[in-house]
């Protein structure tokens, strides 16, 4: 028995709705997993004896820890700051209920809002070695590389 055009359209609309709902649910799950692991990493660091003993000045401690675990220093700072600002993860989720999907970029926005008036209480000095290949005749820099010392 041939299907009518109306039946095919209805089946297709149902498929679109089902796929859209599945996609939305999975995007939310992935976004929450991203937020959860960052919160958990921050919590692990803040509650560690090593952080309590060496991490208060943070600069060198976070820099070394970030290098040793394979994450950027700024990302690690954000994880620690995230946990310190929101020790109970559900509080940050509740503050964002109006949004469709809460993403890590939203959390980063919350964290950077308070940094706008930053008094630069946490600083560090970086030493860089700059190597240049320069033309002897005209002085033009032909190549340049920077290395952290």
pLDDT in tens, 41-60: 999 999 999 998 887 666 78
Residue 60 resides in a domain: yes
- Spacing of C-alpha 81 from chain mean position: 11
What are the residues whose beta carbons fall under 8 Å from the beta carbon of 145, sequence distance 6 or more? Answer: 130, 131
Banded pLDDT at 103 (limits 50, 70, 90): confident
Q: What is the mean pLDDT of residues 104-117?
A: 71
Would 106 be classed as within a structural domain?
A: yes
The pLDDT value given to residue 108: 82
Cα 149 to Cα 146: distance, rounded to the nearest angstrom: 9
CA separation for the pair 56, 50 (Å, rounded): 10
137 in any annotated domain: no
Q: Is residue 49 in some structural domain? A: yes
Evaluate whether residue 85 is within a structural domain: yes
Number of structural domains (the chain) is 1
Cα dihedral: 144, 145, 146, 149 (round 10): -120
Domain that holds residue 25: 5-116
Give every CB contact of residue 85 below 8 A, 6+ residues apart in sequence. Answer: 110, 111, 114
Tell me if 86 is assigned to some domain: yes
Question: Using one digit for the tens of pLDDT, what is the confidence trace for 56-66?
Answer: 666 788 889 99
Evaluate whether residue 136 is within a structural domain.
no
Q: Is the pLDDT of residue 125 over 60?
A: yes
């Amino acid at each position: 028995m041939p299907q009518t055009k109306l039946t095919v359209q209805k089946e297709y609309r149902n498929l679109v709705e089902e796929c859209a709902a599945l996609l939305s649910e999975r995007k939310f799950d992935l976004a929450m997993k991203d937020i959860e692991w960052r919160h958990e990493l921050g919590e692990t660091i803040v509650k560690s004896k090593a952080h309590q003993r060496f991490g208060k000045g943070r600069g060198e401690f976070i820099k070394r820890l970030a290098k040793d675990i394979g994450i950027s220093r700024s990302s690690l700072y954000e994880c620690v700051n995230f946990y310190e600002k929101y020790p109970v993860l559900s509080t940050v989720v509740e503050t964002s209920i109006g949004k469709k999907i809460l993403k890590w970029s939203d959390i980063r926005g919350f964290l950077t809002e308070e940094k706008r008036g930053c008094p630069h209480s946490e600083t560090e000095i970086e030493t860089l070695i700059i190597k240049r290949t320069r033309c002897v005749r005209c002085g033009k820099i032909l190549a340049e590389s920077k290395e952290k010392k």
